[in-house]
Amino acid sequence: MDSHTKASLVPPLEAVPFPRPTERPPAEHDTSTAERGSFCLALCTCGWRGPARRSRDLARKDATRHTSP
C-alpha cells in the first residue's frame, strides 16, 4: 500500500482574509424633489426630508437650504 498520493492540506488563497477597501456610503447631499399628491417635498440621499410644500419652488428652496451651510 503506497500512501504517496496523500493530498497536502494547503489552504486555498481565497481562504485568506482579504482586506476590503473601505466602503464609504454616499455621504454627499444629493437633493431632489418628490411629489406627494398636490404637495411637493425635498429629498436628500443622506436621508433628510423636507416638509411638504404646496409648490415645488419652496421644496427646492428647502433642498438648497439643506445643502448650503
Binding mask 22-51 for Zn ion (x = CB under 5 A): -------x--------------x-x-x---
Task: Look up residue 25 and give its three cell numbers.
Answer: 456610503
Please report how close the Cβ of residue 57 comes to Zn ion at its closest, in angstroms: 19
- Contact present, 44 and 9 (Cβ < 8 Å): no
Is 52 a binder of Zn ion (CB under 5 A)? no
Q: Which is nearer to Zn ion, 49 or 54 (CB)?
A: 49
- Contact present, 68 and 31 (Cβ < 8 Å): no
Count CA atoms closer than 13 A to 5's CA, side-chain side. 2
Site residues for Zn ion per CB under 5 A: 29, 44, 46, 48
